[in-house]
Structure formats: C-alpha cells, structure tokens
Amino acid sequence: MTAASFDLAAFRTLGRPAVMGVLNVTPDSFSDGGQFLAPDRAIARAGQMADQGAEILDIGAESTRPYGGARPIAADEEIARLAPVVPDIVKIGLPISIDTMKAPVAAFALERGVAIVNDVWGLQRDPDMARVVAESGATIVVMHNRERADAAIDIMADIDAFFARSLDLAARAGIDSSRIVLDPGIGFGKTPAQSVLALARLGDLKRFGLPLLVGASRKRFIDKISPAPPERRLGGSLAAHLVAAEAGAAIVRAHDVAETAQALKVAKAIREARCPT
C-alpha cells in the first residue's frame, strides 16, 4: 500500500498557511453534524470547498468532538460512511486527509488515494497506526489530546511531552520527520483558557522543527470570549487563524473555507505591503 503523494513544501510558495477544508460525513459532529452525511451532499460540498480556495480536504466519518455526547463507532461503520464518498472526492485532485484514530480506517482511505492521516490521538490510541502510516508513506498529522481537561496543569508542558512520545513512536515505526505535521489540538483536552494559551504560544512549538497545523474553527473557546453558537463563530475563527498564521502555522483547518482563504490572502497582502521585498 502506497499513499498518494503530498508535498507540504510546495505550499510554502503561498506565503500563507494552506487552507484545509473540513468535511464531516457524520450525524453528530459539533458544528455541522448531519449536513453532509448523504454521499451526494458530501461530494458536492467537497467540490464547493475546492472552488472556494481549499488547498487540502479533510474527511472525517466519526465525530471526535471534545465536549461529550459523540457516539464512538466501530471501524466498519466508519469505513461504510467513507466508502461512497472517498473515491469521488479524491478525483477532485486536491490532497485528501482522513480524520481518524483507527488504523484500519486509515488503511482503507490510503488505499483509495488519500495522502494524509489526521490522527487526533497522535499515534497513541491505535498501536497499529504508526505502522500503517510508515508502510504507506503517508503524511501524518500528530494532534495533542487528553482524555479530559485539567485546569491545574501546564498545558504547554503537556503538549511538549505528548509530542515527544508521538515522535518517538513515529521514529520507531520508520516515519520520516519530513512527513510529520504537529497540531496543538485546540479545544481537545483543554479548558477554553488553555486553548487560548496554546494559540498565544504557538510559536513555542517551532522548536520541534516541524510544520504546524491549527484547527480553531468554531471551537468552544470562542464562545467563552464572545458568546455565540458554533455557526456564528466565524469572526472568532478568523481571528484565531490569522494569529496562527502570524505565528508561523503551515495549515489552518476551517469549516468556512471561502472566508478563511480571503482573510489569509488579505493579511498576506498587507504584510507584504508593510515589508516589501
């Protein structure tokens, strides 16, 4: 099994983070659960995000919402949700990411042209995930996570220790560091204040020498700062992603693709006008 090719370095010429569009083929995701469960709607939404400026598409078939209430599903059910949509979405021609913590699901997707595994447990939940990624040559997004938030801990120290464990697993499996992206996991296993801190100190994670992905789109910390339901958190999402871009994020993961792409392009133009080369 060989994954489709993906070269993150190619996006560096953009001068801004690449936009990863979110597609949840689930009934219970926190923001858009049920909207794209039907295969035809999911495929249409993927094409729409591509037209709106997404450079990467991220497909998830199991809700991993961190606030409780999501129903865990077996790998077979996850694959059944993906099977009708993945082949057609791959045909769009953008790099495709599979949002899963299960090795069999990752293997299924990689065999069908997916290039990236986005693991919300950073190779630490399924003991076979590192092997699947290594053997396929796929890119892996290692996301920080915790079973539950703990306001008493030093969240940046926890992120550092988590990434160190994940990177050790990756090295042992033979995953080259050029194929690893780190994600601080905004909203996952964190209080809203800890999510804000992780964004504020995103630059600290550059010490790992790896590309950073930030997924702050519609997250709960926005509601704690400026109360709004998920579908009305666009302003907060854009603010967080612009801050992440300034801190050096290589990818931002967003539900609102057109608005995010526009914001990043405008910010880039302003930055270049301020400091012309």
For residue range 154-197, list pLDDT tens digits in order: 999 999 999 999 999 999 999 999 999 999 999 999 999 999 99
- Residue-range domain boundaries for the chain: 8-274
Query: Apex CA 133: angle with CA 132 and CA 138, to 5°?
Result: 135
Mean pLDDT of 14-29: 88
pLDDT over 80 (residue 265):
yes
Nearest to 191 by CA among 227, 230, 223: 223
- Which distant-in-sequence residues (6+ apart) come within 8 Å of 145 by Cβ? 120, 121, 122, 162, 185, 188, 189
> Which of 90, 190, 174, 92 lies closest to 140 in space, CA to CA?
174
Annotation: CATH topology of 8-274: TIM Barrel (3.20.20)
Rounded Cα–Cα distance for residues 256 and 247 (Å): 21
User: Which has more confidence, 192 or 5?
Assistant: 192
Q: In whole numbers, what is the pLDDT of the chain averaged over residues?
A: 93
171 phi, psi to nearest 5 deg:
-65, -45
Per the residue annotation, which of 218, 219, 220, 233 is the catalytic one? 219
Q: Say how far apart CA 97 and CA 56 lie, in whole Å.
A: 7
Is residue 206 annotated as a catalytic residue, yes or no?
A: no
- Round to whole Å and give the CA distance between 133 and 2: 9
Between the alpha carbon of residue 109 and those of residues 54, 95, 106, 127, 212, the distances in Å are 20, 12, 5, 18, 23
What is residue 10's predicted lDDT score, i.e. its pLDDT?
A: 84
Cα 47 from Cα 31, distance rounded (Å): 20
DSSP letter at 179 equals G
- Please work out, in degrees rounded to the nearest 5, the angle formed at the alpha carbon of residue 269 by the alpha carbons of 93 and 198: 75
Longest CA–CA span in the chain (Å) reads 53
Distance between alpha carbon 157 and the CA centroid of its chain, in Å? 21
| Catalytic annotation present for 253 | yes
pLDDT tens-digit readout, 139-150 = 999 999 999 999
**Pairwise CA distance, residues 38 & 25, whole Å:** 8
The Cα–Cα gap between 239 and 254 comes to 12
pLDDT band at 30, cuts 50/70/90?
Answer: very low
Per-residue pLDDT, averaged over 108-123, amounts to 97
Query: Above 80 in pLDDT, residue 64?
Result: no
- Active-site hit among 65, 146, 233, 253: 253
Higher per-residue pLDDT: 47 or 63: 47
* Residue 89 contacts residue 59 (beta carbons within 8 Å): yes
Residue 255 in this model has a pLDDT that exceeds 70? yes
Cα distances (Å, whole numbers) of residue 68 to 36, 63, 197, 275 = 21, 10, 22, 45
Q: Does residue 70 have a pLDDT over 80?
A: no
Sign for the CA dihedral angle at 65, 181, 264, 43 comes to: negative
Query: Which residues are CB-contacts of 157 (< 8 A; sequence separation ≥ 6)?
Result: none
Q: pTM, whole model, 2 decimals?
A: 0.94
Q: What is the pLDDT of residue 277?
A: 62
